[in-house]
């Protein structure tokens, strides 16, 4: 957070702060008829179905401001919502932003947070059209609602996978989780554990994946250009294993995923070895990669094989065969949902 001369938020008040943070926002989308400044935003979607998603981020649960810069936090808060719109094969158009702010934050701090949000919105041509602010006694809370659109026939749900469909994933997995482990380790150093030495050298990619994830709108565009309509799709927020099991459960299928085909970055493998962790376990259960997991008909094998940054990792099976990981030595292990679960007890 800003450590120089700070302006108390109380000097602007709730509506003054909203005006201050949004007065230069220019609307890009034709569906955004009216944005910030009235009781409601006005949106118009004459020929498409509307997609709506919301995400709540709580300080101390979803982020730690000891090592998460506010600008990065704003960027990530937007990206995780845009990712959900892309996961439905849609196009994000607008967001609303609601903040609960404690007294320790200044106007300058909120400017940093909003700078990250606006950077994410500009990269994906999304309009900020409204929101709310209130005071908080327990830290910072960020609630973002994203609104998008898609033609009815193009929307992809989780429940459309069929036997023999190919399972595909974009990018690589486990890097965001390794970035979190690295940041938590360095936090221990900061808090005075002298036996742990700080070391970020050669691990910049892991930090970027944790602090500045990218929603994969480029993959949605590539699928459309290739003439591929996924049968089921999710973004990987809670871990590959968990998301695969969601698709299989809702589609009434099983799956086979091959360990040797799970995409890993070199830095992820090195960090896992350094921390004495199994890299496959990290890739299956780490979460926060915000890559796209999707299934396509077997007939699209040639098309999907040619897509840049997309990897075939398995196939959909009959439900009675279960959800299985085929290990490098040919063995079978049952997939378990061991990723992030928001409401479990400590």
pLDDT digits (tens, 9 = 90+) for 220-236: 999 999 999 999 999 99
- Mean pLDDT of all residues in 107-120: 96
Residue 236: count of CB within 10 angstroms of its CB:
28
Model confidence, pTM: 0.90
> What is the per-residue pLDDT across 176-224, written as a single tens digit (0 to 9) for each?
999 999 998 888 766 665 555 556 788 999 999 999 999 999 999 999 9
- pLDDT score of 23: 76
Place of tokens 């290739």: 226
> What is the per-residue pLDDT across 84-101, written as a single tens digit (0 to 9) for each?
999 999 999 999 999 999
- Mean pLDDT of all residues in 275-301: 96
Cα–Cα distance between 270 and 132 in angstroms, integer? 43
- pLDDT score of 318: 98
CATH code for residues 9-154: 3.30.1330.10
Largest separation between any pair of C-alpha atoms in the chain: 65
Say yes or no to pLDDT of 31 above 60.
yes
Cα–Cα distance between 296 and 311 in angstroms, integer? 12
Vertex 126 angle, CA 123 and 127, to 5°: 130
* Assigned fold of 166-334: Phosphoribosyl-aminoimidazole Synthetase; Chain A, domain 2 (3.90.650)
Phi, psi of 77 (to 5 degrees): -60, -40
Residues of the chain with CATH 3.90.650.10: 166-334
| Banded model confidence at residue 346, pLDDT cuts 50, 70, 90 | very low
């Amino acid at each position: 957070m800003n450590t120089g001369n700070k302006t108390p938020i109380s000097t602007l008040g709730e509506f003054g702060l909203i005006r201050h943070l949004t007065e230069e926002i220019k609307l890009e989308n034709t569906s955004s008829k009216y944005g910030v400044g009235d009781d409601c935003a006005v949106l118009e979607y004459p020929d498409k179905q509307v997609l709506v998603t919301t995400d709540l981020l709580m300080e101390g649960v979803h982020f730690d401001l000891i090592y998460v810069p506010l600008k990065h936090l704003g960027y990530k808060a937007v990206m995780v919502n845009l990712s959900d719109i892309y996961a439905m094969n849609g196009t994000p158009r607008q967001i609303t932003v609601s903040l609960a702010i404690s007294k320790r934050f200044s106007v300058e701090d909120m400017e940093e947070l909003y700078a990250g949000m606006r950077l994410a919105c500009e990269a994906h041509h999304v309009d900020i059209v409204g929101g709310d602010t209130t005071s908080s006694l327990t830290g910072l809370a960020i609630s973002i609602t994203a609104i998008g659109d898609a033609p009815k026939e193009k929307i992809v749900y989780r429940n459309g996978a069929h036997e023999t469909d190919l399972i595909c994933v974009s990018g690589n997995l486990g890097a965001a989780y390794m970035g979190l482990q690295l940041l938590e380790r360095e936090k221990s150093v900061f808090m005075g554990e002298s036996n742990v030495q700080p070391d970020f050298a050669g691990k910049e990619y892991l930090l970027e994946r944790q602090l500045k994830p990218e929603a994969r709108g480029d993959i949605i565009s590539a699928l459309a250009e290739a003439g591929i309509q996924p049968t089921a799709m999710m973004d990987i927020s809670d871990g590959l294993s968990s998301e695969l099991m969601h698709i299989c459960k809702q589609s009434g299928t099983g799956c086979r995923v091959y360990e040797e085909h799970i995409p890993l970055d070199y830095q992820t493998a090195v960090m896992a070895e350094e921390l004495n962790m199994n890299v496959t376990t990290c890739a299956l259960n780490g979460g926060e990669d915000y890559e796209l997991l999707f299934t396509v008909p077997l007939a699209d094998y040639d098309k999907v094989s040619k897509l840049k940054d997309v990897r075939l990792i398995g196939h959909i099976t009959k439900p009675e065969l279960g959800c299985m990981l085929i290990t490098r030595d040919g063995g079978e292990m049952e997939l378990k949902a061991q990723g992030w679960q928001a409401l479990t007890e400590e």
